[in-house]
Amino acid sequence: MSHKTIQVGVIGTGGMGGRHVHNLTHEVAAAQVVAVMDVDEARRQTVAQACGATYTFADGYELINHPAVEAVLVAAPDRFHAQLTHACIAAGKPVFCEKPLAITAAEAYQVVEAEVAGGRRLVQLGFMREYDPAHVKVKQMMDSGALGKAIGFRGVHINPPSAEPHSLEDVITNSVVHDIHSARWMMGDEIAKVYASYVPGNPNQPETARLVLVHLHYRNGGIGQIECNADSGYGYEVDVQMTGETGTVQTNSLQSALVSRANSRAQWVEEDWLQRFDTAYILEAKSWICSLQSGTPSGPSAWDGYVAMIVVDACVESAQRGQPVTVKIPERPAIYTG
């Protein structure tokens, strides 16, 4: 691809998709949203008008195969991610797919297989924490070696209040999947065993989850822990702490202004991920478009999406059985190395 503007089609224009359309239109000079797809006709027309897209579709596959669309961003509901991403690979078009890549590891593997068969990376996954300045600082500190070898990971993921309890599968596939990716990325090592436990969202519905705790064992001896609250009742926070052999480093979500008033002190807490990762989403979109211009894929790959799903499946099984589960990750294909 040359250094010209990349013409992007966006599938799904709800909360996350709508933010991606906004960022690509207003924050990424080298991108132009030319097509949008949404099953909600009113929404797709409104979004198309706001971003100046010429083409609107009610069908994602039509958008993917339209000649004006050079690259695709998939922000449809999770259950459609794998099929739509697969269709982009079949059409030979680069695709940015929101996480999760699929809703099972088996389905994610089909995407990896198709990409490997094509012989080049076309897929970038929406694990946006890799673009969050606070996470990047932690990662850089560990990579600098100043704290010695990484031996421990701790991730805390607090979600906004939720009207309905979520299923255990949903919490792990849609939410904990971020922490799983973070746990691999930060440690630079693969997860070898998980032991997950949870508190149901409703005591009478054991298939729901409110609080999930996952213990991790890495291949090279490190350990980790993920805590995910599916319904905090108060706001949104994500933090990570890394333990090295000679020190620790962590993000600090308690950085907002401290207000003292009437014998009390208070701090503002972000509402959701769109607020917390505002900057990360912009940097992520810029990096994706830049990688398409340069022809050098970067960022989280389909392989990362697949491995995260292997760990997701292991966590679900572990939580359901109440037993530790061994994680088996196949050898990484050559297109994902280096």
| Chain residues in the site for ligand ISE (CB under 6 A) | 159, 174-175, 178, 273
Our measurement of the distance from residue 67's CA atom to the centroid of its chain's CA atoms, rounded to an integer in Å, reads 28
Task: Give the residue nearest to ligand ISE (CB).
Answer: 175
Least separation in angstroms between residue 153's CB and ligand ISE is 17
Closer Cβ to ligand ISE, 273 or 306, answer by number: 273
Residue with tokens 């039509």: 62
Least distance (Å) from ligand ISE to the CB of residue 284? 12
Name, in order, each residue with C-beta under 8 angstroms of 269's C-beta and a sequence gap of 6 or more. 234, 235, 236, 237, 256
CB of 175 to ligand ISE, least distance (A): 3
Shortest Cβ distance from residue 305 to ligand ISE (Å)?
13
Query: Shortest gap between Cβ of 78 and ligand ISE (angstroms)?
Result: 8
Residue number with CB closer to ligand ISE (7 or 124): 124
Report the alpha-carbon distance of residue 278 to residue 208 in Å, rounded.
Answer: 29
Pick 13 or 175: Cβ nearer ligand ISE: 175
| Calpha distance 115→77 (Å, rounded) | 22
Q: Are 94 and 292 in contact (CB under 8 A)?
A: yes
CB nearer ligand ISE, residue 32 or residue 174: 174
